[in-house]
Amino acid sequence: MRLSRYFLPVSKEAPADAAIVSHKLMLRTGMVRQNGAGIYTWLPLGYRVLKKIEQIVREEMDRAGAIELLMPTLQQADLWRESGRYDDYGKEMLRIKDRHDRDMLYGPTNEELITDVFRSYVKSYKQLPLNLYHQQWKFRDEVRPRFGVMRGREFLMKDAYSFDLTEDGARVAYYKMFCAYLNAFSRMGLTAVPMRADTGPIGGELSHEFIILADTGESAVFCDKTLLDMDPPGLDLDFDGDLSGEVEKRTQYYAATEEMHDEAAFAAIPEDRQVSARGIEVGHIFNFGTKYSKPMNAVVQGPDGQMVPVQMGSYGIGVSRLVGGIIEACHDENGIVWPDSVAPFHVGLINMRAGDEACDKACGELYEQLEAAGIDTLYDDTDDRAGAKFARMDLIGLPWQLVIGPKGLEKGIVEVKNRKTGEKVELPFAEVIAKVT
Ligand code: ATP
Ligand code: MG
Ligand code: MG
Ligand code: MG
């Protein structure tokens, strides 16, 4: 992409109402534009990152055997009356009437809708297990929308729903998501810690929030440092095999959010391993048994011919919240430092003297080679000052910067800078692509 033809409304100043670094940087880099409280337009640069995250989530859901579909944002209220949640959900739910005066709502989550899909088609245990997911916009009329996309009112969520005949089956489904989540967050350059979460009136142990540590996180969290140093299960994990070892390896260590915190258990951890910090909830997995299947009559026939309510779980990831979360984890005083996997472009090519025939030619050729090699490149071909170009490239945080100017051209070299390490090397043109791949 040539910057002169792109839409990248970068600004020098962060608006005064942006309280945390990710929100400031997202506004300054022109990633999002606020429309109303907690409602954003995803501008081109931000949208590229959102799609990268969405794709990683998709790949890891698919790898774990979940199947993608797409449910609507607007839902009929009737299904929510069946489950009893239409009245329970409260003010976070945006309620709407259509022209026939029918009650509708903008979905804050999709348990009812997916349960209805399930009960309409699945009648036998032979069709199980099943895990269906989508990535769709949600609306929650939050009391305090803030921190930009971190607590929006309209936000993108990946939500998956598992269906099993037995509790043991549901546990297997839960373990698959537990492992897939660790792999997905790791691919985004994040260390997410699964922490025991409240299961409410349903009880049981199968609820975990996935938390990344950040000073600006909204929850107080407590965990054993061992969990922060652990590698994810890995992309070669056999999801058809026994995953209990992978889960227990982690759940044996203390990790809880404020609501579940147990002072005594935490104090029992060796002091040098006690981590007390703030965290951002980027995912949440939950086994709720027959909470929805019973009232909504989602039953399947078991091998013995009996009809039983299906065992369910739901698994959310805050896809749009992650954009802010990753920036909280990956930035320095000059701007964002994107992990390769979610960077909006892989390379930023800077023409130090646009309009100079030799510079234009060298940049144009390298740009074509990069694109031909499948490397997403943002080519700064504008006539801005060199200093402004460097600052902007640092601010938007692409993993690699390639700088071409008259002096380098005399020597036949390109300056290659790694945004994360700051390391700069001068390389002949022929070696540049190998360096950045
Ligand atoms: P929170 O505690 O932050 O309000 P939640 O527990 O209400 O989140 P869940 O119902 O568990 O959220 O939804 C699944 C995921 O969706 C969360 O883990 C979070 O990453 C994301 N999410 C929830 N609310 C928002 C929001 N207002 N803006 C952006 N992402 C959100
Ligand atoms: Mg909430
Ligand atoms: Mg929560
Ligand atoms: Mg939650």
Q: List domains and CATH numbers for the chain.
A: 3-336 (3.30.930.10), 347-436 (3.40.50.800)
Under 8 Å between Cβ of 298 and 309? yes
208 Cβ inside 6 Å of ligand 1: no
Say what angle helices 44-63 and 319-329 make with each other, to 10 degrees: 110
Q: Tell the burial category of 88 from Cβ atoms under 10 Å away from its Cβ (0-12, 13-18, 19+).
A: exposed
* Mutate which of 139, 153, 284, 317 for ligand 1 pocket (most atoms within 8 A of beta carbon): 284
User: Exposure pattern of 327-340 as b/e (b: 16+ CB <10 Å)?
Assistant: bbbbbeeebbbbbe
The DSSP call for residue 294 is: T
How much distance in Å is there from the Cα of 283 to the middle of ligand 4?
Answer: 7
HSE-CB of 164 using CA atoms within 13 angstroms: 17
Taking 50 as the pLDDT cut, the residues of the chain under it are none
Q: State in Å: Cα 425 to ligand 2 middle.
A: 47
Supply the pTM of this predicted model.
0.97
Q: What pLDDT is stored for residue 425 in this prediction? A: 98
Atom in ligand 1 nearest the alpha carbon of residue 280 = 3
Q: What is the dihedral of CA 238, 242, 245, 248, to 10 degrees?
A: 110
Distance between Cα 205 and ligand 4 center (Å): 15
Nearest CA to ligand 1 atom 21: 318
Cα 346 to ligand 3 centre (Å): 33
Residue 369 exposure: Cα atoms within 13 Å on the Cβ side = 15
Q: Which ligand is nearest to the CA of 158?
A: 1
User: Sign of the CA dihedral 267, 273, 278, 279?
Assistant: negative
Instruction: Give, as residue ranges, everything with CB less than 5 Å from ion ligand 4.
Output: 284
CB of residue 155 inside a 6 A radius of ligand 1? yes
Q: Determine the pLDDT at residue 115.
A: 98
Q: What distance in angstroms lies between residue 373's CA and the mean position of ligand 4's atoms?
A: 41
| Cβ(356) – ligand 1 distance below 6 Å | no
Burial class (CB in 10 A: 0-12, 13-18, 19+), 142: middle
Predicted ipTM beyond 0.90:
yes
What's residue 260's pLDDT? Answer: 93
β-pairing verdict for 39-42 and 74-76: unpaired
Half-sphere exposure of 137 (CA within 13 A, CB side): 15
Is omega for the bond preceding 428 within 30 degrees of 0, making it cis?
Answer: no
Nearest CA to ligand 1 atom 13: 316
Name the region of 197 (left: φ>0; alpha: ψ -120 to 50; beta: rest): beta
CA distance linking residue 120 with residue 312, whole number of Å: 16
Q: To test the ligand 1 pocket, which listed residue (190, 211, 281, 326) has its Cβ within 8 A of the most ligand atoms?
A: 281
At residue 387, the pLDDT reads 96
Q: Residues near 387 by Cβ (< 8 Å), separated by ≥ 6?
A: none
- Are residues 193 and 230 in contact, defined by beta-carbon separation less than 8 angstroms? no
Residue nearest to atom 16 of ligand 1 (CA): 318
At residue 244, the pLDDT reads 98
Distances from the Cα of 179 to the Cα of 228, 258, 341, 433, angstroms: 15, 23, 19, 35
284 C-beta closer than 6 A to ligand 1: yes
158 CB less than 6 Å from ligand 1? no
User: Ligand 1: does its nearest atom lie under 6 Å from the Cβ of 316?
Assistant: yes
Ligand with the closest atom to the CA of 314: 1
* Ligand 4 centroid from CA 174, angstroms: 15
